[in-house]
Structure 1
């Protein structure tokens, strides 16, 4: 027998923050996995900006996406769980993170790369009347408001607009140059002398760039003066008020907008949870980047200071710490001796002057010009590309040569990467063929059975009541057991809702991969908490279940529902003139396939997950109230496949407005890139029932007809007279994408047919 490899999870590394050092860890683990080590990344912002490119963005040299690194593809590449959340607390004794609105997250090792904020944030009034340059994500949102206000004031009916920047370091200087260049360029202002834009740099020092050599300071001071950017030296700020800066000697400075870019600081919580804090106010670490108070905690970047090795808080040092941090975390996890890291004494500083020129300095060296800007642009762009342009995922096909012909082998290679979620279903043709072969076992009290086309089995009870039963199971498509279970629960309830019934109770089916006992217990707890929360939201009781060890995480439910027999909705029953209404957008299959390939943005996947979390409960209630003629849910066989199930009983023809199909953000992009679910090809076999598919088959929107949906919406055949009211009710009930997508044109055709329009 061929030996198999077991790789149980035995330790958990938790990364907090998406800073530069943690990017290196994720890339390192993606390139060289550590079997047995589970990695989780928690970050408030998933689309993280690169600080080195911020001035270039402000000046207009870069677009928004060009200065951001999407952490989701990188985490997928590393096989890491990614969670976007605000942390409410850290219990170092229990080794767990307390998050808002989700179960606690346990860890064996913790790494902090949380960045910093300007220390002026602690000045009274800063939170109300001024804008900090960090966190950069917050600043970018505020910058858009500052920029628009300046354009409005300085535009058609020019007046004066003043911007005050508190701080005399590189960030303040770069921001002043960049903001002026961008606003002047937008408005076509050619003369600094006549410009209504007034920028002031306010610093407590005797000039700007005190940590740079005299030549740099002199050149920048002269350049600022030449561009009419005023430096107010020896002005220590003590308070911010509305459009006013109060200085130590009670001098005041007024401005339309105030920004501060002073020295770095961190929040109080690292010290409050018990971590050692150095004399400079930052997390104190040793030469291994390991907390001096807790050996299982590591920290890097602006938030940490190596004991005895004070350095400026600069992105250069944070980037350099990434490699030794990754190595020491892995060494600590595997019980190996840690390696000391000594940061360089002096780093190359590149300062953007806002007009496609820059200066470079290191110790006493100084260079300036367009070539320096070209160098800076090359360095910054290369850094972003390093973590955003990831190797293509390839799943090898382990097949002995000669077993199949070349065409079959090529087809199997193209589909070796198998999807999860509802895209992991067996094809409808295979399923139908097998069910037809089963021997019948008719019972008078079984009204609908598994071999028929309805969404759930229907068993007659007494007094005109019926019991509906449905079973569904999904392979995990995200590396988050709690969130996966919530979505899978919604998915499993869909068949009951599709028949106009409401779930009463459910039994859970859980498959857990081999892991250390503490991790198995934790994973099972997260799954069942997610399931329980979703069931409670749907007023459905959990009454039992079954667990097993499986190769991959799986979850399913057997769901019960009770209803009056004559109140059920069915797939058949479409009437001529009915309006076809779809409650949710399409595209989960292609997006999840792209996510597996590191080609889906966090924005796309997050929006898709939010749609999957929306229950079909209120949509079912609406369809029951409206008394629709037919209904089903859209799951693994795609919109076309499930619509045809509704149409086949009476050979119905439906005119489908293909351009009206609601699609999830990004789905048409991934379909356009030929990224399909592994079930897409089988689903597409139904296109023989699409009357005019040749005219549309080169459009991405055509492919969405066959895209398998996980936790998809309901589709109903609604009497025309009630269609508008139905749409209004659905949108008011929390289905903003509910759309009329077509119309029943014939209920007595020779064969069922979709007619695309």
Structure 2
């Protein structure tokens, strides 16, 4: 127990205050101010690139977005027409933020309080800001009766793309003889969507008609007459029916009606009209336009709050409104970056002056395009090649991210047996199993310990105690605090116990008191939320300042119903079940260098947040013979702890190991945790290991896990029933091997099969 622990009640929190450490050699303050960007629009992603080149001193930058991938709208038609893949048309926000040293939070903002300068989020605790910027795009205006129920809005693009893929599969299946598709809107986006859908569907069926509806007297009302002529001719060739002066008054499941009750029968309706601001903005103190957009001055500051900015489609310039076009969002980025910097440093702000005319290139589906730059209008395949080049150059800024601080893949580690350039975090930061065992033996301590210490306590009851420490592997104190607790409690669950109380020892990075308070509150909110979920009490702790965030958790537990589980005790014929997938070590290593895909990191974090708590009552029903959890020493290291004391051997089905998506690819590209090499010292227990070196799952045997799953040995006759019960909460749980009959062998051997 810590010497400044306490028994119960708020009195004990004195230990946190006592734990603060100060030194004459304390480095310069890291963070004093917080800039928060809400939304991953074009302006903000370009802002982040500029931040990478020239970050403001003593200032933290955070991006909040509900999506990990943000689309580049200029390439959406090419995605629909299948000229581009999803990855080519989307910016990976998590990876971009990791590369630029920006904190990323995946969540929805639901309110802003400009007076207290904090944000309310859907899941995340309240977040404070010093400077706030909004770039959240627009929301489809589905106010026309029936539109919300029966129309498919083009934004959010991710939702629309899934609907489009589903429609295409339906058409391909040929469930009806003819399909009528309606597109509501007469602007550039609607035109490009009509061309792209027509082009794409031609490869599936010729039995379809596309209808284009606009309330204006003609399509592309803001374009040159010659450009409209080019577009209309091209639409005619594509057999797209144009309905001008068609003001939609009502939408139903199979039809659309105009102001004169004229009906057009449609199987699907895509909604591509002008949008409005997010509905949640109405509850804030911000000044809004009639359409719900944020009113801003030419400095991009809101009218009443100089420390709140807005850019992109959600911004409405006053006194003269700007058009909603990607080109304006792009050109707002340097002004926004300069003005936010100036607002913090007391500099002079710049004015944003939207240009009157700009280059507009409309993709026509078939790798031709129509363009204009007043007073010129032009068309042809060369225009498509020009547009394709410009779009790819823009996306290249966000997809080919050089990490100058990191060496190349080949040279990122120094010569063998020297200190790696980049040390891993999480459970990949452990001391190797060999060094630990040798050191404990030297001082006369048994290294064959259980997952938690068992202390006899009062009339045949037992106190369980364990300690775990993690160095932060993600720049999100709330999320990290949650995972640190889940990881630590796992040792108690691995023995079939129930957590009772914890103490935490926290090291926070050096920063100004106001910023330190914000970070500490986020961290403790995360810790407390998971302790509440586990019905476990925080009874004490210790704090200090240091160079990086780390959390150590000491857990006290008690025996639940039934006997305690142990690592040892597996019997020949037992079946091995693993509850959670492997691969956290390699994904964390790649993510540290911004080389892991954002959706892969999100799935890894979701797995880490999946506690082993729910597995305990399930597994107890099947009376396991041995249980342990898989953490820093990797799957093989912890499996050997189960086998070696009783000299058991096992047949392991390497192909059945559950794996996090992307982990095997990262191994193939050369990534691995810094603890991987030390864990590979156990490979001599593998029978004919050299035969398996090229097997994709082989490196996963040694990959250090953070918040890993349980490895369970149960009788063969109940294994499938146990697995089925576990898969309700742990869908990737799998049977991975079987304990072999005990023969005359004197050493433990792991036989691999596929």
Tell me the distance in 2 between the aligned counterparts of 1:564 and 1:249.
Answer: 72
State the shift of 1:396 in Å.
7.5
Aligned to 1:103: 125
> Judging changes above 3 Å, is the alpha-carbon distance between structure 1 residues 409 and 705 closer, same or farther for their aligned structure 2 residues?
closer
Contact 1:658 1:756 in 2 (8 A): yes
Q: What 5-or-longer segments of structure 1 have no aligned partner?
A: 190-195, 398-405, 441-448
1:626 match: secondary structure:
coil
Once the two structures are superposed, the pairs formed by residues 688-707 of structure 1 within 5 Å of their partners are: 688-707=684-703
Tell me the distance in 1 between the aligned counterparts of 2:624 and 2:157.
Answer: 50
- TM-score of the pair, normalised by structure 2: 0.92
Once the two structures are superposed, the pairs formed by residues 21-32 of structure 1 within 5 Å of their partners are: 21-32=43-54
Contact 2:199 2:366 in 1 (8 A): yes
1:742 match: secondary structure:
strand
1:735 and 2:740 equivalent? no
Aligned to 2:92: 70
Tell me the distance in 2 between the aligned counterparts of 1:407 and 1:164.
Answer: 53
Aligned to 2:40: 18
1:364 to 367, 371, 375: 375
1:500 to 496, 502, 521: 496
Tell me the distance in 1 between the aligned counterparts of 2:256 and 2:676.
Answer: 61
After superposition, give the CA deviation of every residue in 1:662-718 in whole Å (9 maximum; x if it has no partner): 101111111111210111111111111112210111223100000000000111221
Q: What 5-or-longer segments of structure 2 have no aligned partner?
A: 1-22
Once the two structures are superposed, the pairs formed by residues 309-320 of structure 1 within 5 Å of their partners are: 309-320=320-331
Aligned to 1:94: 116
Aligned to 1:475: 471
2:415 match: secondary structure:
helix
> Judging changes above 3 Å, is the alpha-carbon distance between structure 1 residues 144 and 345 closer, same or farther for their aligned structure 2 residues?
same
> Judging changes above 3 Å, is the alpha-carbon distance between structure 1 residues 532 and 453 closer, same or farther for their aligned structure 2 residues?
same
Aligned to 2:301: 290
1:165 and 2:183 equivalent? yes
> Judging changes above 3 Å, is the alpha-carbon distance between structure 1 residues 323 and 557 closer, same or farther for their aligned structure 2 residues?
same
Contact 1:266 1:282 in 2 (8 A): yes
Tell me the distance in 2 between the aligned counterparts of 1:465 and 1:346.
Answer: 80
Q: Which moved more, 1:635-644 or 1:326-335?
A: 326-335
After superposition, give the CA deviation of every residue in 1:184-233 in whole Å (9 maximum; x if it has no partner): 1233x4xxxxxx32212111222111111111011211222232212111
1:233 to 244, 249, 254: 244
> Judging changes above 3 Å, is the alpha-carbon distance between structure 1 residues 708 and 394 closer, same or farther for their aligned structure 2 residues?
same
Contact 1:133 1:260 in 2 (8 A): yes
1:751 and 2:747 equivalent? yes
Contact 1:27 1:77 in 2 (8 A): no
Contact 1:453 1:645 in 2 (8 A): no
Tell me the distance in 2 between the aligned counterparts of 1:66 and 1:544.
Answer: 50
After superposition, give the CA deviation of every residue in 1:562-617 in whole Å (9 maximum; x if it has no partner): 23899222122221111111111101111111111212122211111111111112
Aligned to 2:169: 148
Contact 1:393 1:597 in 2 (8 A): no
1:573 to 566, 569, 575: 569
Contact 2:110 2:280 in 1 (8 A): no
Greater RCO (CA < 8 Å, at least 6 residues apart):
2
Tell me the distance in 2 between the aligned counterparts of 1:222 and 1:267.
Answer: 37
State the shift of 1:246 in Å.
2.2
Contact 2:643 2:748 in 1 (8 A): yes
Tell me the distance in 1 between the aligned counterparts of 2:412 and 2:29.
Answer: 34
1:293 match: secondary structure:
coil
Q: CA RMSD in A?
A: 2.3
- TM-score of the pair, normalised by structure 1: 0.92
Tell me the distance in 2 between the aligned counterparts of 1:128 and 1:495.
Answer: 49
Once the two structures are superposed, the pairs formed by residues 533-572 of structure 1 within 5 Å of their partners are: 533-563=529-559, 567-572=563-568
1:277 to 282, 288, 295: 288
1:524 to 520, 541, 545: 520
Tell me the distance in 2 between the aligned counterparts of 1:503 and 1:338.
Answer: 55
Tell me the distance in 1 between the aligned counterparts of 2:562 and 2:243.
Answer: 81
1:674 to 666, 670, 674: 670
Aligned to 1:435: 440
Tell me the distance in 2 between the aligned counterparts of 1:224 and 1:730.
Answer: 55
1:177 to 173, 183, 195: 195
> Judging changes above 3 Å, is the alpha-carbon distance between structure 1 residues 264 and 100 closer, same or farther for their aligned structure 2 residues?
closer
After superposition, give the CA deviation of every residue in 1:626-661 in whole Å (9 maximum; x if it has no partner): 222222110000001111112221222111111111
Aligned to 1:137: 158
State the shift of 1:160 in Å.
2.3
Tell me the distance in 2 between the aligned counterparts of 1:363 and 1:395.
Answer: 46
Q: Which moved more, 1:368-377 or 1:620-629?
A: 620-629
State the shift of 1:393 in Å.
5.2
Tell me the distance in 1 between the aligned counterparts of 2:389 and 2:417.
Answer: 41
Tell me the distance in 1 between the aligned counterparts of 2:283 and 2:635.
Answer: 53
Q: Which moved more, 1:221-230 or 1:664-673?
A: 221-230
Once the two structures are superposed, the pairs formed by residues 643-722 of structure 1 within 5 Å of their partners are: 643-722=639-718
Contact 2:171 2:204 in 1 (8 A): no
Tell me the distance in 1 between the aligned counterparts of 2:677 and 2:545.
Answer: 31
Tell me the distance in 1 between the aligned counterparts of 2:279 and 2:457.
Answer: 63
Query: Number of matched residues?
Result: 728
> Judging changes above 3 Å, is the alpha-carbon distance between structure 1 residues 318 and 565 closer, same or farther for their aligned structure 2 residues?
closer
Tell me the distance in 2 between the aligned counterparts of 1:695 and 1:712.
Answer: 27
Tell me the distance in 2 between the aligned counterparts of 1:324 and 1:110.
Answer: 15
2:682 match: secondary structure:
helix
Aligned to 2:607: 611
Tell me the distance in 1 between the aligned counterparts of 2:613 and 2:240.
Answer: 60
State the shift of 1:622 in Å.
3.0
Tell me the distance in 2 between the aligned counterparts of 1:124 and 1:517.
Answer: 53
